[in-house]
């Protein structure tokens, strides 16, 4: 029996060698496949040996080789990520204090109304801080950019930025009263100064004193004889004095605080002893124009 076993093993070895030599050259790279083929060959050889020895084939060789695949890492060139530029957004900064600018050069006044005195101006392109508003919210108090004084600009051409809700409300000072310049009143004193007797003509001499503050440039003289109801009248842009029957002098104006003697038109009848009513009108402009004033006296030559 021992001889049979060694003979069988020797036969298997010979068969394996012969099989290996007779097998076609096959390139098998899978280790599991190679083990399977080898096991099949051995099983066939053993089986043939057992048959030759008169023993039924029982041996079966199972491959025990386990293939563990080796992972090979192949690096991949991954392009770098594309950078996307996001532009920076500039935000509009709201000023912390209210500011004002104008689209038209705007006067800056002493108070919040057009009748206040002009102190300066806010020009196009300039800005100024706002310090207060008027109750109506249509005038704004600033510092005059050119002089530093507090003054007021109208809302008409203004643009404001920043918080205005917390601004103090300024109650304007009383409306300035217009400066009153007293107009000099035209006044004068009128008095009888005599009667010039030239035998065939008579005229009344009248004394005029300018007691007012304006200059007189024209005069009208009207004399009525109340005894005969005869009257004479004339006007002139000069103050003429016929102080005797052949001589006279004249003035173009009657200045304030000055005196002039004027002669009435001549009577053709002697008014001596008659009551005469004399009315004189003086005016500040030629031809009895401008400011005028009239005085009347009664005298008896």
Cβ count within 10 A of residue 241:
20
Residue-wise pLDDT tens digits, 184-219: 789 999 999 999 999 999 999 999 999 999 999 999
If you average pLDDT over every residue of the chain, what do you get?
80
| Local structure of 143: helix, strand or coil | strand
> Do the strands 106-109 and 118-122 form a parallel or antiparallel pair, or are they unpaired?
antiparallel
Cβ count within 10 A of residue 121:
18
Sheet of 202-210, strand order: 188-197, 202-210, 259-263
Q: How far apart are CA 112 and CA 230, in angstroms?
A: 67
Model confidence, pTM: 0.43
**pLDDT for residue 146:** 79
Q: How far is CA 222 from CA 62, 113, 122, 234, 262, in A?
A: 168, 54, 63, 7, 12
Residue-wise pLDDT tens digits, 231-286: 999 999 999 999 999 999 999 999 999 999 999 999 999 999 999 999 999 999 99
Cβ count within 10 A of residue 258:
15
């Amino acid at each position: 029996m021992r001889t049979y076993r060694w003979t069988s093993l020797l036969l298997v070895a010979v068969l394996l060698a012969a099989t290996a030599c007779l097998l076609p050259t096959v390139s098998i790279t899978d280790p599991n496949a190679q083990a399977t083929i080898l096991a099949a060959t051995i099983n066939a050889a053993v089986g043939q040996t057992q048959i030759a020895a008169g023993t039924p084939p029982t041996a079966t060789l199972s491959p025990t080789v386990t293939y563990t695949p080796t992972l090979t890492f192949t690096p991949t060139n991954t392009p770098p990520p594309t950078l996307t530029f996001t532009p920076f957004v500039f935000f509009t900064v709201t000023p912390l204090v209210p500011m004002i600018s104008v689209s038209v050069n705007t006067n800056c006044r002493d108070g919040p109304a057009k009748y206040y005195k002009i102190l300066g101006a806010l020009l196009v392109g300039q800005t100024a801080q706002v310090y207060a508003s008027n109750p109506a919210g249509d005038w704004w108090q600033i510092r005059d950019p050119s002089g530093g004084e507090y003054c007021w600009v109208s809302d008409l051409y203004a643009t404001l930025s920043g918080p205005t809700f917390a601004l103090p409300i300024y109650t304007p000072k009383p409306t300035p009263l217009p400066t009153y310049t007293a107009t000099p009143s035209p006044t004068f004193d009128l008095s009888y100064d005599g009667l010039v007797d030239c035998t065939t003509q008579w005229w009344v001499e009248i004394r005029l004193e300018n007691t007012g503050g304006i200059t007189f440039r024209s005069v009208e003289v009207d004399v009525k004889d109340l005894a005969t109801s005869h009257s004479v009248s004339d006007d002139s842009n000069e103050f003429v004095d016929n102080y005797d029957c052949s001589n006279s002098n004249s003035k173009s104006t009657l200045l304030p605080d000055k005196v002039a003697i004027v002669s009435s038109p001549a009577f053709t009848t002697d008014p001596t002893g008659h009551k005469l009513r004399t009315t004189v009108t003086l005016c500040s402009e030629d031809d009895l124009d401008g400011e005028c004033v009239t005085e009347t006296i009664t005298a008896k030559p």
